[in-house]
Amino acid sequence: SQELEQSPQSLIVQEGKNLTINCTSSKTLYGLYWYKQKYGEGLIFLMMLQKGGEEKSHEKITAKLDEKKQQSSLHITASQPSHAGIYLCGADDLKLVFGQGTRLTINP
């Protein structure tokens, strides 16, 4: 079965700094989701990537899927306190599987 590994597991950055979270799959990805989780709000869908080399942006968040479709990165530019939370990548392999998450803390 497919496994997703995220790195880093935890990240603390100064407000205004850029950061990158990675998600590596044990198998070719045919649909890769990025979610953000805040307690009490459920998971918030950020982006979905399907094609090798695809890149999508929403506000200050950019996600990419590599050409081989086995790795995705999530990049946040000029981080803000509102970006704090747990970021999860997910993939569909008969059932949805998730990475273990990256806990992001933004220091003012």
Partner 1 sequence: GAGVSQSPSNKVTEKGKDVELRCDPISGHTALYWYRQSLGQGLEFLIYFQGNSAPDKSGLPSDRFSAERTGGSVSTLTIQRTQQEDSAVYLCASSSDRGAYNEQFFGPGTRLTVL
Contacting residues toward partner 1, per CB under 8 A: 4, 30-31, 33, 35, 40-45, 48, 50, 88, 90-92, 95-101
Give the count of alpha carbons within 13 A of 5, CB side only: 5
Residue number, 73 or 77, with CB nearest to partner 1: 73
Nearer to partner 1, 28 or 107 (CB): 28
* Distance in Å, CB of 63 to partner 1, minimum: 14
How far apart CA 12 and CA 104 sit, in angstroms, is: 6
Mode of pairing for the β-strands spanning 32-38 and 42-49: antiparallel
Q: How far is the CB of 32 from partner 1 (least distance, A)?
A: 9
To the nearest 10°, the Cα dihedral for 76, 79, 82, 88? 30
CB of 31 to partner 1, least distance (A): 3
3-state secondary structure of 38: strand
Give the nearer residue to partner 1 in terms of CB position, either 17 or 38.
Answer: 38
- Phi–psi pair at 73, nearest 5 degrees: -125, 145
Shortest Å distance, C-beta 91 to partner 1? 8
